[in-house]
Structures are given as structure tokens and as C-alpha cells.
């Protein structure tokens, strides 16, 4: 039954007469006779649908002379609409709101509560009073927060202006009270908990219903909620004094103090003072902070204090946990940052300006982010700026490698690659420079990966270098090294043979080839022992081979350490069998035309 216009009925408590079958009453809110209801069959329960609920009904509409003009019953298709928001005529919004589940009634609606002076041609004349036989089947209650009847909004006291929700580990400030459930006046029962101001972590809420409610409301929301324990389900009243089965709970969520997980969930950042706007430092940003460091030892022992300390993010200038927290802060924000030892000063501890951090000790930072300047994002850069930034960050990766900070080197190379990864908009000269940079980054990544014993990564990076320059000597050699360590000897041998084809006197390649052949021979002996042992157990069908000593393939392949050999262009091939080999020499930095370094 369509509306003649959009209307919204104010949310108010309306008391309805409890009618028996055959009784009739005015159920209009204004009590002006606009909607009269006569009960044909009583419904069940005490609840009635609320404004905003989607109700499901069957209906048959007639004029006062009995002429039928519409029927969902005849169509065999129940009708659904949202109650009280103007989707249907006023008489339906107010009449159906008075019904209980399963109730059947006749609603007699005056023209003002139906289609008015216009009518609905051709079936409904102007100024017609209409009769509707309506049966209410069910409704979905948007106020039933968990759709189990356990927490239902009974009355809204104040709606939030913002959109801040509390999460499990957030801290909240709430004002709440609890009263015994009252069927007549919501919140009017005997006091269980008087009005209380409380501050707590959501997961540590004073009772289960509070914890569940806080997951559904926003900062600034205030309302009265009917809570009850659900048979066979969640016990929302668990934890309340006296163990009631139901209660009316009045709650105002005054403040949400956001607590974010950091350090893989082992640490946390709590904003004690909100910052400005939405911007946060990015990788490479220049930030200025003031902070104190205390031990997380229950005594809050002060060990450091710094004022207006400036550093660049992404360079491990401060402990990892502190940097992660700072990169999640906004300008002017003050935060309490709890950092586990592994992300602070580790197993070595540290001597700081005010005291000593013992080994393996968790710490707490109180940090103020005074100012920051973000590094320019890639999409904001010109192509020339991208090339310049790539060279700079690649150089930072080289410096990290030389300092033994291998993970930082990987991060820098990955970042450098992002500047030139997509170069379709570059000029021809810029594309040449970009190609050299990409090749250099892949080769250096492979060198760092070999040093870090990440051989799959080294093989991948070498392969990407070879995609750029198929015969690159260093890429072939490093891929062969990685494949050897991965015991993929055929692949390693193929790469080494390519090197020897290009340079028969390539000493490093020949040494590696000899090592590969020894390893393959050792592997063959090991395989022979395994399969020979299997065959010997097959009922004596095969002659048992003499016992072969267990073979360590890599040890058997090892030879005396070899000195690094210069193969040109300042590059030295390292011997990977040395337990503490010199670090592979990175790509030299060669100035390119127009001042662009592309090594």
C-alpha cells in the first residue's frame, strides 16, 4: 500500500489499549479517529514493531461499500515495508504499529490517513475512507542489536554526531546505570547499579552485555537498552550484581580512547591527546618528536627523555616499535606507546640519557608528534624526480648493506624499484636510465640475499636481472650460486656453462662448476644408498650393496676457500664456501648523461 508522500513519524512511546477480539479503538497517535482498529484475531507476546522495522503483512483493501481494490492475499505475495518512515499511507504506519505478531485486524482509515482529496484513480475515488484487513506476520527489528533479543534499544536519549566505534582493546569512558526490567516504564525498575562513571578497556567491561553493546554504538550515543540472558545463547546479564536474568541498562558512551596494536600485536599505541586532521608521516618523512622512555617494570623507571628530536623515518634511526607508532600518529597527537623488548632495545639493552635499559626489557614511550614533513609520494613526482629518488634510495640501500643491516637494505631496494617500476611515461633517455637502475637494483638485491642466505630470493632477483639483460655475467653467476645452495645443480650448471662459453678462462665459473660436479656426484652416491637400501629389503631379489657412509652433499662438494677474483669493472666474485666471506661487491655507481646516476 503506497504512501501519498514521504512522512516520518517522530519516535515516541505510544500506549495502546489491549483489545479483545471484536473490540475497536482509535489507534492514531493524534487520537482524531483517523485510524480505527478492530481486532479479528489476537496476536502473541507483548512486543510490537518499532519505527524503522521491516514488517511483513497480508492485506485486503476495500471501499466502504465493500468493493475490493487491492489484495496481497489474492496475489499470494505478502507485502513488506519499513514502518513509520512514510513508505505507506499514514493509517498503515500508525495502525500496524499498534499490532502484535500474528494479530489480524481491520484498519478503517479516513481520507486524511489514506489517499486524501486526490484518491488513487481509477480504483480509489477522491476523499475515500478505506478499510484494510491486515494480518501481521513478523518484523525484523533494527533495534535488536544481535538479532537474538538479548540487547534491544528501548529508547534513544541522544544520537552521536560522529562515527567513532570502540574496538576490543580500546579504552572507553562511559556513564551507565542498571535497573530491574520494567514492562511498563523502561528503566523504571529497582536500581541494580546506580549511575556510575567508569573508564575501562572494552574487553574488560564490567558485564558481558556492556562489552557487547560497546561494539555496536558510537562515541556520543546515549540510550536505554533492554538486556536479557538468551536461553542457550549469550548471557548478556552475566556479571551484574544479583545475577538478574534481565535488566534495563542506560548507557552513554562519552569517549573512545583508541588503542592500536603495533609490533605484530605485541605492543600498543594509545592516543591520550588527539592530533590534527588525518595526515600521518610516511616512509622517508622528516618528523620531530618529544618523548620519555620508562621501563615497563611496574615502577615506571625513567631512562630517557628527548625534546624536539628530529629524524627521518625508514632508516632505523629509532627503535622499530617507536618508529611504527610515530608513523601512525597525527600532528599534535600525544600517545602512550608500549613496546616489547624485541622491538625496543632487544637482548643487548641500552644505556640512555637517564638510565639503563636491561636486556630483554619492555619499555613505555610517552610521545608527542610536534611536526612532520611527508616525503613526496611517487604519484606526485615528475619522471626526473623519480629517477633522482630511485638513485638516492638505492644508495641508502647500499649503505645499509655495508653496515650489515641486510633487512633495511632489502626495504630500500624495494622502495627504489617502486620509483622506476612503471616507466611508460619516461622519455627514451629516461627509459635507458631506468633500465640501468632496475638492473643494478636486482643485482644488488641478489648480492644481499646471498649474504643473508636467502637463496630463493637471490635466484629470483638474478632472474629478473637476466630478464633485463639476458647475458649479464653477475646475474648468471649469482643465480648459479643460489641454485647450488638450493641443491638445484642442473640449473646451476647450465648458468655456469654459459659463463664459460663467454669466457673460457673464467676462473670463478670453473671453480663453481667443479664444486657443482662434486655435489652432483655426492648426491648420486647418497641416492644410490637410499635406493639400494630399498631394493635390499625386497625379499633378496637384489644383491645387497656394501654399506656406504652417510654423505653430506654440501660438505663433500666443498673445496678449500678461494680468493676473490676480479672479473672486470671493479666487480669481484666471492667464494661462497668461505664461512665468513667478504660481502659481494655491489654495483658501482656510474654517473649517467645529464647528471643522473643509474648504477
In this prediction, residue 589 has a pLDDT band, given cuts at 50, 70 and 90, of very low
pLDDT for residue 186: 76
In this prediction, residue 269 has a pLDDT band, given cuts at 50, 70 and 90, of very high
**Position 54 pLDDT exceeds 70:** yes
| Per-residue pLDDT tens digits for 329-351 | 999 999 999 999 999 999 999 99
In this prediction, residue 2 has a pLDDT band, given cuts at 50, 70 and 90, of low
Lookup: cell for 245: 536474568
**Position 592 pLDDT exceeds 60:** no
**Position 10 pLDDT exceeds 60:** no
pLDDT for residue 295: 97
**Position 76 pLDDT exceeds 90:** yes
pLDDT for residue 86: 85
Is the pLDDT higher at 406 or at 85? 406
Is the pLDDT higher at 198 or at 147? 198
Domain with CATH 1.25.40.10 in the chain: 383-523
Is the pLDDT higher at 556 or at 161? 161
pLDDT for residue 575: 30
DSSP strand pairing (35-41 vs 302-312): unpaired
pTM of the model: 0.65
Instruction: Provide the terminal-to-terminal Cα distance of the chain, rounded to the nearest Å.
Output: 75
Mean model confidence pLDDT for the chain: 88
Whole-angstrom CA distances from 461 to 26, 234, 422, 440, 480 are 81, 54, 18, 10, 12
Lookup: cell for 464: 629478473
d(CA 494, CA 513): 9
Lookup: cell for 596: 643522473
Is the pLDDT higher at 141 or at 471? 471
pLDDT for residue 552: 58
* Residues counted in the chain: 599
Domain 151-257 has CATH 3.30.930.10: no
**Position 544 pLDDT exceeds 80:** no
**Position 59 pLDDT exceeds 50:** yes
Domain with CATH 3.10.50.40 in the chain: 23-140, 151-257, 267-373
d(CA 113, CA 53): 20
Q: Any bridge partners for residue 262, and if so which?
A: 267
**Position 247 pLDDT exceeds 70:** yes
Domain 23-140 has CATH 3.30.930.10: no
Residues marked active site are found at 59, 69-70, 89, 115, 132
d(CA 167, CA 184): 34
| Per-residue pLDDT tens digits for 481-504 | 999 999 999 999 999 999 999 998
pLDDT for residue 578: 33
pLDDT for residue 480: 96
Is the pLDDT higher at 196 or at 570? 196
**Position 8 pLDDT exceeds 70:** no
d(CA 575, CA 349): 35
**Position 211 pLDDT exceeds 90:** yes
d(CA 276, CA 70): 59
**Position 548 pLDDT exceeds 90:** no
Q: Which of 134-138, 297-301, 309-313, 521-525 has the lowest mean pLDDT?
A: 521-525
pLDDT for residue 396: 95
Q: What is the three-class DSSP state of 272?
A: strand
pLDDT for residue 577: 32
d(CA 499, CA 476): 7
d(CA 480, CA 497): 10
Q: Which of 159-163, 165-169, 170-174, 571-575 has the lowest mean pLDDT?
A: 571-575
Instruction: Classify domain 267-373 by CATH architecture.
Output: Roll (3.10)
pLDDT for residue 571: 38
Radius of gyration of the chain (CA): 38
Q: What is the CATH number of domain 383-523?
A: 1.25.40.10
Whole-angstrom CA distances from 38 to 33, 84, 108 are 13, 20, 8
| Per-residue pLDDT tens digits for 104-163 | 999 999 999 999 999 999 999 999 999 999 999 998 877 889 988 899 998 899 999 888
pLDDT for residue 1: 56
| Per-residue pLDDT tens digits for 27-46 | 999 999 999 999 999 999 88
Share of the chain above pLDDT 90, in %: 75
| Per-residue pLDDT tens digits for 510-541 | 999 999 999 988 888 887 777 766 655 555 54
Cβ–Cβ < 8 Å for 518, 494 = no
d(CA 436, CA 439): 5
Who contacts 393 (Cβ-Cβ below 8 Å, separation ≥6)? 412, 415, 416, 419
Who contacts 570 (Cβ-Cβ below 8 Å, separation ≥6)? 585, 588
Rounded to an integer, the average pLDDT of 444-457 is 97
pLDDT for residue 335: 97
Amino acid at each position: 500500500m503506497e504512501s501519498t508522500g514521504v512522512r516520518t513519524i517522530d519516535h515516541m512511546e505510544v500506549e495502546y489499549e489491549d483489545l479483545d477480539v471484536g473490540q475497536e479503538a482509535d489507534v492514531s497517535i493524534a487520537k482524531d479517529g483517523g485510524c480505527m482498529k478492530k481486532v479479528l484475531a489476537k496476536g502473541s507476546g507483548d512486543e510490537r514493531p518499532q519505527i524503522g522495522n521491516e514488517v511483513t503483512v497480508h492485506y485486503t483493501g476495500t471501499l466502504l461499500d465493500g468493493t475490493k481494490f487491492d489484495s496481497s492475499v489474492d496475489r499470494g505475495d505478502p507485502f513488506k515495508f519499513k514502518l513509520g518512515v512514510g513508505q505507506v499511507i499514514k493509517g498503515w504506519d500508525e495502525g500496524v504499529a499498534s499490532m502484535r505478531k500474528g494479530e489480524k485486524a481491520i484498519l478503517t482509515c479516513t481520507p486524511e490517513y489514506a489517499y486524501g482529496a486526490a484518491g488513487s484513480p481509477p480504483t480509489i475515488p477522491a476523499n475515500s475512507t478505506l478499510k484494510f484487513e491486515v494480518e501481521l506476520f513478523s518484523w525484523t527489528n533494527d533495534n535488536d542489536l544481535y538479532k537474538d533479543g538479548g540487547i534491544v534499544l528501548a529508547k534513544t536519549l541522544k544520537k552521536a554526531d560522529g562515527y567513532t566505534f570502540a574496538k576490543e582493546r580500546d579504552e572507553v569512558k562511559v556513564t551507565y546505570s542498571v535497573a530491574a526490567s520494567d514492562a511498563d516504564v523502561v528503566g523504571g525498575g529497582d536500581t541494580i547499579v546506580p549511575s556510575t562513571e567508569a573508564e575501562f578497556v572494552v574487553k574488560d567491561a564490567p558485564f558481558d552485555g556492556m562489552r557487547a553493546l560497546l561494539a555496536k554504538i558510537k562515541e556520543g550515543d546515549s540510550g536505554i537498552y533492554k538486556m536479557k540472558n538468551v536461553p542457550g545463547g549469550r548471557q548478556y546479564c552475566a556479571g551484574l550484581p544479583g545475577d538478574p536474568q534481565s535488566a534495563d541498562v542506560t548507557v552513554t558512551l562519552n569517549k573512545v580512547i583508541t588503542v592500536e596494536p603495533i609490533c605484530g600485536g605485541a605492543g600498543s599505541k594509545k592516543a591520550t591527546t588527539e592530533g590534527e586532521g588525518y595526515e600521518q608521516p610516511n616512509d622517508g618523512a622528516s618528523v620531530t618528536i618529544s618523548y620519555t622512555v620508562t621501563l615497563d617494570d611496574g615502577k615506571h623507571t625513567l631512562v630517557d627523555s628527548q625534546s624536539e628530536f628530529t629524524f627521518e623515518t625508514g632508516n632505523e634511526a629509532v627503535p622499530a616499535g617507536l618508529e611504527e607508532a610515530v608513523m601512525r600518529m597525527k600532528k599534535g597527537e600525544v600517545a602512550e606507546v608500549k613496546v616489547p623488548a624485541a622491538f625496543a632495545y632487544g637482548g643487548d639493552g641500552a644505556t640512555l640519557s637517564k638510565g639503563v635499559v636491561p636486556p630483554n626489557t619492555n619499555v613505555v614511550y610517552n610521545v608527542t608528534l610536534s611536526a612532520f614533513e611527508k616525503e613526496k609520494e611517487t604519484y606526485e613526482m615528475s619522471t626526473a624526480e623519480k629517477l633522482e629518488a630511485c638513485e638516492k634510495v638505492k644508495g641508502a640501500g647500499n649503505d645499509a648493506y655495508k653496515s650489515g643491516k641486510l633487512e633495511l637494505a632489502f626495504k630500500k631496494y624495494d622502495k627504489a624499484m617502486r620509483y622506476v617500476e612503471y616507466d611508460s611515461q619516461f622519455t627514451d633517455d629516461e627509459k635507458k636510465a631506468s633500465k640501468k637502475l632496475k638492473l643494478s637494483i636486482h643485482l644488488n638485491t641478489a648480492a644481499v640475499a646471498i649474504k643473508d642466505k636467502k637463496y630463493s630470493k637471490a635466484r629470483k632477483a638474478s632472474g629478473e636481472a637476466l630478464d633485463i639483460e639476458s647475458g649479464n655475467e653477475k646475474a648468471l653467476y649469482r643465480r648459479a650460486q643460489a641454485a647450488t645452495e638450493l641443491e638445484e645443480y642442473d640449473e646451476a650448471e647450465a648458468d655456469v656453462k654459459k659463463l664459460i662459453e663467454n669466457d673460457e678462462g673464467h676462473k670463478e665459473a670453473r671453480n663453481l662448476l667443479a664444486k657443482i660436479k662434486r655435489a652432483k656426484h655426492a648426491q648420486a652416491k647418497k641416492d644410490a644408498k637410499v635406493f639400494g637400501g630399498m631394493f635390499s629389503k625386497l625379499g633378496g631379489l637384489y644383491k645387497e650393496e656394501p654399506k656406504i657412509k652417510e654423505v653430506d652433499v654440501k660438505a663433500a662438494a666443498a673445496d678449500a676457500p678461494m680468493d676473490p677474483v676480479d672479473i672486470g669493472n671493479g666487480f669481484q666474485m666471492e667464494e661462497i664456501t668461505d664461512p665468513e666471506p667478504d660481502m659481494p661487491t655491489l654495483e658501482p655507481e656510474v654517473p649517467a648523461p645529464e647528471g643522473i646516476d643509474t648504477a
